Structure 1
Amino acid sequence: MRRGFKAQAERSAAAARQVLGLSVNVPFDPWAYAKHLGIIILDFEVLGLPANAARQLTVTDQDGWSAMTIQEDGVFGVVVNPAHADTRRRYDLMHELAHIELKHVPARVEVSPSGLMLLSDFSDEQEQEADWYAGSFLLPRDGIFRLRSRGKSAAEIGIQYGVSKALCEYRLRMTGVDIQMRRVSDR
């Protein structure tokens, strides 16, 4: 990731929480944030896909995709895989919002026969940035530090923020919260 990106992402997350009137102790709602940004969240059920295509995407190959961003006439829309758990959908939507907010340019763009632009295949660096950005919004460092200092497990913190235990463990490790907690307890 580019120099200073992680700190920038943490500041952006804090600013977004302030705009939405959220403290660091409450879950971040990516759907409300998308609305704030003017990004349309498309309901998979009303996309009008043929039954065999919908079944392929949500049953047969439900792990083949997480979310998709489309853009038409400067307006963004995101559709999230309805077959995934709520915790995953929250993360996937925030990840897509990160790509949009960070103005990431996909390495490959596909255009449907009707002219609809489908964005896909971001670079590894852009994917890492979107991962960090999404994590910063969903699990603010100050909030997870406070909960960890109260003895909360990664699973308990994940439940409080509405995210997976795996995402919480990643943030605890990558933000240095667990290292900081060990140093405090060693004193």
Structure 2
Amino acid sequence: MLKRGFKAQSERRSVEIRKKFGLQPDAPLSARKVAAAYDILVWTEADIAGVSGDDLVQLTVTDPDSWSAFTMRVGEKHLIVVNSSQSEPRQNSVIMHELSHILLGHELTSAGLTADGHFVPTSYNQDQEDEADWLAGTLLLPRPALLRIRRTGMTDHQAMNNFQVSSQMLTWRIRMTGVDYQLSNARKRRARG
């Protein structure tokens, strides 16, 4: 469960970050640009030295849905490695999720190796995952953007292209913020006079 005030704090942070880029509160925000501004590296699996061709095929062709992204530290820098086989909207979302962990000061999850050679997390914090999910969604689709999408009659497809988000992310943010309900009630009040 999110701490009291976290959702409002996320909306404020979204506006602050957009201001750094000279953007309006309802403007699209690229996760890769945010990463660059915070001096966070973003690589794909192909950028990692020593990964064999067979391993790349395993990660991106044979079993591409087994992972989306992970973050690690390299010296003093954070490095986000993202699955290049996933769609651009999905990559934008998972990079923003990983950035959210960093911006929130979360501890990196440690990983261990199983007997059959698979990496698995050895620690997991659901509260931190929930916070990163919420902040990432807010950074990608803040409330002002959702209101603009609905008020201007932008189709879901247009909104997805404009904000580089998936259908699932758009639907989740609209549902979780209650934007449609808010606008419907406002229309009803205006109609009553």
How does the TM-score come out when normalised to structure 2? Answer: 0.86
- Answer yes or no: is 1:22 the counterpart of 2:23: yes
Q: State the distance in 1 between where 2:152 and 2:32 align.
A: 29
Q: Deviations over 1:84-115 (max 9, x none)?
A: 00000000000000011111124x51379xxx
Instruction: Find the counterpart in structure 2 of residue 8 from structure 1.
Output: 9
For the aligned residue pairs, the C-alpha RMSD in angstroms reads 2.0
Gaps of 5+ in 1: 113-117
Q: Deviations over 1:128-159 (max 9, x none)?
A: 11111011111111121022022233333222
Map 1:69-148 → 2, pairs under 5 A: 69-106=71-108, 108-110=109-111, 120=121, 121-148=123-150
* SS of structure 2 residue aligned to 1:155: helix
CA contact (8 A) 2:44 2:83 kept: no
Q: Deviations over 1:8-54 (max 9, x none)?
A: 11111110000011123432011111111111112432213111111
Q: State the distance in 2 between where 1:44 and 1:110 align.
A: 17
Instruction: Find the counterpart in structure 2 of residue 115 from structure 1.
Output: none
Q: Which residue of 160, 163, 166 corresponds with 1:161?
A: 163
* SS of structure 1 residue aligned to 2:29: coil
How does the TM-score come out when normalised to structure 1? Answer: 0.89
Q: Which residue of 163, 177, 180 corresponds with 1:178?
A: 180
Give the letter for the 1:136 counterpart: T
Corresponding pairs, count = 181
Q: State the distance in 2 between where 1:145 and 1:9 align.
A: 16
Q: Larger Rg: 1 or 2?
A: 2
CA contact (8 A) 2:14 2:25 kept: no
Comparing 149-158 with 17-26, greater Cα deviation is found at 149-158
Q: State the distance in 1 between where 2:120 and 2:37 align.
A: 21
CA contact (8 A) 1:68 1:119 kept: no
Give, in angstroms, the shift of residue 165 of structure 1.
Answer: 1.6
Gaps of 5+ in 2: 114-118
Q: 1:25 to 1:3 in 2, by over 3 A?
A: closer
Give the letter for the 1:27 counterpart: P
